[in-house]
Structure 1
Amino acid sequence: MVAEFPFAEQTSNELSFKERDERYERLHDWPDPTYLHSSGLRMIWKYDDVRDVLEAADPALSNGNSLDPLVGFPRIAGTPRAIPHFFRHLVPLPAKATANLTDDTLHKQVWDTMAGPAGHFTISRDERPQRVEAMVEHFHHALHGLDEGVVSRLDVTALSIAYAARVGGAAVGLPSADWPQVAVWSGAQSGLLGRRMRGRELAEAVGALGQLFTVSGRAVERSRRHRVTGFASRLHDAGVPRRVAVSAMANSLAAGVHTVSGSIQQGVQRLLSDPGREWWDLLADQNTAAQVAVKVLQLDPGLVAWKRRAVRPMTLRSGTELAAGPVLVMFAAANRDPAAFRNPLDLRGGGKLPLTFGFGKHVCPGKQLANLAVEVFLRELRELAPRARLSEEVASANTRKPDLLFSGADVTLTV
């Protein structure tokens, strides 16, 4: 009897951390290095293959499809309710900016502005205390914005999303009045990238994505008209074209919220499921808290996979053969490859560089910001509720929708 491929029917987003652990382990025992998923994406998960395809240094590999909707543009064009949103906000189509930009010269120009030595998202040692203080403030503002009032039960999922939206909105210079909507807009792009949407849901996602680009465009215009110092002005001063700047802002907002919040949700689920609370208690110390955050982002990232395209049949350096077509690069799985990490579930197990944020010239420009955002949230949560327990009311992730790219968890605490 042939065993079923571990991720043939369910995605990480539908599984608890224990189920993910078990399936990732089975995945690395699968006899073949690739799997053609029903979505049409060819899955890869071996560390060396994932690293090479994420880097996309070989001309046979392209990152140009990274932000294409999973259902395809024809499906959107064939959804009547989506068409008004599409033409109102997304025509002409947004420019490529970071993840899907194939012009190497322009890509380097944008990336350096975002994450170079003096980039907007680069956090120097001297700047770190100020960034931490701002994120702590975002945590408590998000906490006070919840409906619970007296905190005896805490919805970590809602809190993490509100927090990540504030951090992301502030980082790109979006007006604070727009921050509450950032999570909705971000969820729209995330859903379009990794989910098979249809009908009303698809139309609403297109509308929300359109709002994200419209608001980003207004922020860019405001910055240029009034010379507001921030992300948009840095892009302008670097000579980045306006349309590319708008996309860079929109993409940064969309990528940050659910990557950060999903990592927090799944990380808290793992930390508080340990009877000994070893990792949870390490959050009380700043040095060890950073180690825990890095490990959470390795094992339980909110973004679990990314897309690339093989423009022609090719053979990777490992010998793995790829047919021409779209590829789903499962870096959360690669972060557990026993060939790269002898004991990935050990906090101090060592191994190669985790691939959560990509590799080579396509490393996520918000890597430092995301790492620090996860660390600060976990530390503040541990300080707020050191004896918190997972609520038994949310025992599994079975109600979550399938998503090939993004993953999270429904986490409520009793404090």
Structure 2
Amino acid sequence: MRTTQLDLFGADFTADPHPDLRRLRSDSPVHHDPATGLWLVSRYADVRAVLADPEAFHPDNALTAVTPIPRPVLRVLARAGFSLPPTLANNGTDTHTDLRRLVAGFLTPARVAGFEARIASLCEERLASPTDLHADLARDLPCVVLMEVLGITDVDVPALKAWSTASLELFWGNPSVERQHELAVQAGEFHQWLTRRIRAASPDGDDLFSALRQHGTPVREAAGLCYFLLIAGQETTTQLLSTLLDRVLRHPDLWARLAADEPGLAAACVEEVLRREPPVTTWRRVTSRPVTLAGVDLPAGAPLLLMLAGTGSDPEVFAEPESFCPGRSGARRHLAFGFGRHYCLGAGLARLEGEVVLRTVARRFPDLRLAAIEPPPMLGLLSFRAPLSVPSSAPRPSSRGRRQRTRTPRAARGGRSGRCR
């Protein structure tokens, strides 16, 4: 039985947060967590209202380390020239719009759609004989895709992944002081790499670094923008792919329908996983003035933790919220990508990668099964949760995955209502 004291970093919450999220929605929709000092907001309507009101709820604390960083560790970061000025996720100033527009130019619907074949090709390259779909496929593919979308070449993918996972743990984990030192060194190395690349970028180039030079963005601000963008833009998609593959493989009937290329089913599975188990489970805001939320009076400066994972299972919004039901009505009402002026710029790319990867793996391995039915080890950070392993059997690949197929055009495809599970 769960204890009454919620532990956001505890093994129980990491393994399955939904019992606690149900309790919060029912009994304490705006709940003060003494361990972190955060006010937990868990109902869909309240979270959406916060995200929709940037005047009353500022994003300034979005990238603040949840576990305070002590002075010796801060000195490690300072020696590396590390800083996170207001750029995108943590920017409530007037500079946000122009910077967002600059990045959005690399993530237009047309540009993203043009990467569908490339994503499928990268997926095929990694599917010779899958034994762990996280390590073999989900871990690196989103990083390669994002770098290509942003026009960034000559990237050491293993190094970038090590830097980005270290950064997630430093800012959203609960590491010891000794561990913080180790993580700060890696975060500093990443920031220095970004600074060098931005300074060396040609203003006449066509990649993100060059675009920032053309825009006249100071190097400090440009490095801060790229630091978070290059982490969030691929780590969250890695988490989405791992969760998606794990959850869908637990339903062999669904996998068979995917292998048979049922129109719209892959996209519907992506939306259902985003609703129920989003890779970004929480996000933060801070009140700019005294407010009342769900009957609770909050002072100015109150730090809020928006429980995004809980909103997707709010029975006031979704019927049978505990069921896995691809194709359900209104699935896209979820808040997995946020809402309002800070809505995730990479939502379209993440959706496309999820759909293409799921469809490609199912076609290639129609008889693929999980190698273990017990729950996988989970990444359990304040704002990020996903399987760290998706062990699978390795049946003989289907020849269908290598044939050119005629498919219904994307614009004509829709989600087919499936049986809830």
- Provide the TM-score with structure 2 as the length reference: 0.83
Q: Which structure's relative contact order is higher, taking Cα pairs within 8 Å and 6+ residues apart?
A: 1
- Give the SS at the match of 1:307: strand
Aligned twin of 1:332:
309
What is the letter of the counterpart of residue 302 of structure 1? P
1:354 aligns with 2:338: no
Aligned twin of 1:14:
14
1:123 is aligned, of 88, 91, 109, to 109
The farther-off stretch of 176-185 and 262-271 is: 176-185
Deviation, structure 1 residue 278: 6.0
What is the letter of the counterpart of residue 266 of structure 2? A
Structure 2 counterparts to residues 368-379 of structure 1, below 5 A: 368-379=348-359
User: 2-side partners of 1:187 and 1:8: how far apart?
Assistant: 19
Structure 1 residues 239 and 294 mapped into 2: Cα distance closer, same or farther (>3 Å)? farther
For structure 1, list consecutive stretches of 5 or more residues without a partner in the other structure.
145-149
Structure 2 counterparts to residues 100-115 of structure 1, below 5 A: 100-103=90-93, 105-115=94-104
- Give the SS at the match of 2:148: helix
Deviation, structure 1 residue 66: 0.7
User: 2-side partners of 1:54 and 1:291: how far apart?
Assistant: 25
Structure 1 residues 22 and 273 mapped into 2: Cα distance closer, same or farther (>3 Å)? farther
Deviation, structure 1 residue 379: 1.7
Deviation, structure 1 residue 355: 0.9
Structure 1 residues 112 and 152 mapped into 2: Cα distance closer, same or farther (>3 Å)? closer
What is the CA deviation profile of residues 124-162 of structure 1, one whole-angstrom value per residue up to 9, with x for unaligned ones? 2xx455211222233244x27xxxxx6162342452111
Deviation, structure 1 residue 237: 3.4
Structure 1 residues 132 and 245 mapped into 2: Cα distance closer, same or farther (>3 Å)? same
Q: How many residues align?
A: 389
1:260 aligns with 2:237: yes
CA contact (8 A) 2:8 2:14 kept: no
1:95 aligns with 2:85: yes
- Give the SS at the match of 1:28: helix
CA RMSD of aligned residues (A): 2.8
- Give the SS at the match of 1:327: strand
What is the CA deviation profile of residues 182-212 of structure 1, one whole-angstrom value per residue up to 9, with x for unaligned ones? 2111112211222111233212211221222
User: 1-side partners of 2:35 and 2:255: how far apart?
Assistant: 40
Deviation, structure 1 residue 24: 3.9
Aligned twin of 1:247:
224
- Give the SS at the match of 1:408: strand
1:296 aligns with 2:286: no
CA contact (8 A) 1:33 1:45 kept: yes
Aligned twin of 2:121:
137
What is the letter of the counterpart of residue 90 of structure 1? G
The farther-off stretch of 277-286 and 153-162 is: 277-286
Identity of aligned residues (%): 23
The farther-off stretch of 227-236 and 328-337 is: 227-236
- Provide the TM-score with structure 1 as the length reference: 0.84
Deviation, structure 1 residue 256: 2.0
User: 1-side partners of 2:342 and 2:295: how far apart?
Assistant: 23
User: 1-side partners of 2:221 and 2:162: how far apart?
Assistant: 22
Structure 1 residues 3 and 152 mapped into 2: Cα distance closer, same or farther (>3 Å)? closer
Aligned twin of 1:322:
298
Deviation, structure 1 residue 31: 4.4
CA contact (8 A) 1:13 1:406 kept: no
CA contact (8 A) 1:63 1:309 kept: yes
